[in-house]
Amino acid sequence: MMTEVRSTDSVTIIEKDSVNGSECSTHRNSKHEAPKVGEYEAISGPIGYNSFPNDPDFAALVRDVEVALDSGLKPQLSPKGTSGCYFVKDKNQKIIAVFKPKDEEPYGKLNPKWTKWMHKLCCPCCFGRSCLVPNQGYLSEAGASLVDEKLGLGVVPKTKVVRLASETFNYSAIDRAKARTKRNIYNRVPIVGKHFNRIGLPPKTGSFQLFVNGFKDADYWLRRFDNEALPESTAKKFQLLFERVVVLDYIIRNTDRGNDNWLIKYEPASTKPLSPNQNDEDEEWSVVDNPEIAVAAIDNGLAFPYKHPDEWRAYPYHWAWLPQAKVPFSKEIQDLLLHNLEDSNFVQDLCDDILELFSHDKGFDRPTFEKQIAVMRGQIHNLIEALKKQMSPVDLVKMPVLTLHRRRHTIGRTRADSDNFMRSEPRRTPFFSWC
Ligand SMILES: Nc1ncnc2c1ncn2[C@@H]1O[C@H](COP(=O)(O)OP(=O)(O)OP(=O)(O)O)[C@@H](O)[C@H]1O
Ligand SMILES: [Mg+2]
- Burial state string for 153-176 with b = 16 or more CB within 10 A and e = fewer than 16: bebbbbbbbbbbbbbbbbbeeeee
Task: Report strand pairing: 403-406 vs 421-424.
Answer: antiparallel
> Is the minimum distance from the CB of 128 to ligand 1 under 6 angstroms?
no
Mean pLDDT, to the nearest integer, of 21-34? 35
Contacts of 39 (CB under 8 A, 6+ apart): 205, 360, 362
CA-angle at 103, arms to 98 and 105, nearest 5° = 60
Helix (H, G, I), strand (E, B) or coil at 139: helix
| CA 216 to ligand 1: nearest atom | 31
> Is the minimum distance from the CB of 80 to ligand 1 under 6 angstroms?
yes
Closest ligand to 100 CA? 1
pLDDT in tens, 138-150: 999 999 999 999 9
pLDDT in tens, 304-332: 999 998 766 778 899 999 999 999 999 99
| Confidence band of 120 (pLDDT split at 50, 70, 90) | low
In the reported structure, the alpha carbon of residue 217 is separated from the centroid of ligand 2 by a whole-number distance in angstroms of: 9
Residue of 299, 300, 315, 318 to mutate, ligand 1, most atoms within 8 A of C-beta? 299
Helix (H, G, I), strand (E, B) or coil at 434: coil
pLDDT in tens, 337-348: 999 999 999 999
How is the chain split into domains, by residue range? 1-70+169-202
> Is the minimum distance from the CB of 294 to ligand 1 under 6 angstroms?
no
In the reported structure, the alpha carbon of residue 222 is separated from the centroid of ligand 2 by a whole-number distance in angstroms of: 17
The yes-or-no verdict on residue 35 having pLDDT over 60 is no
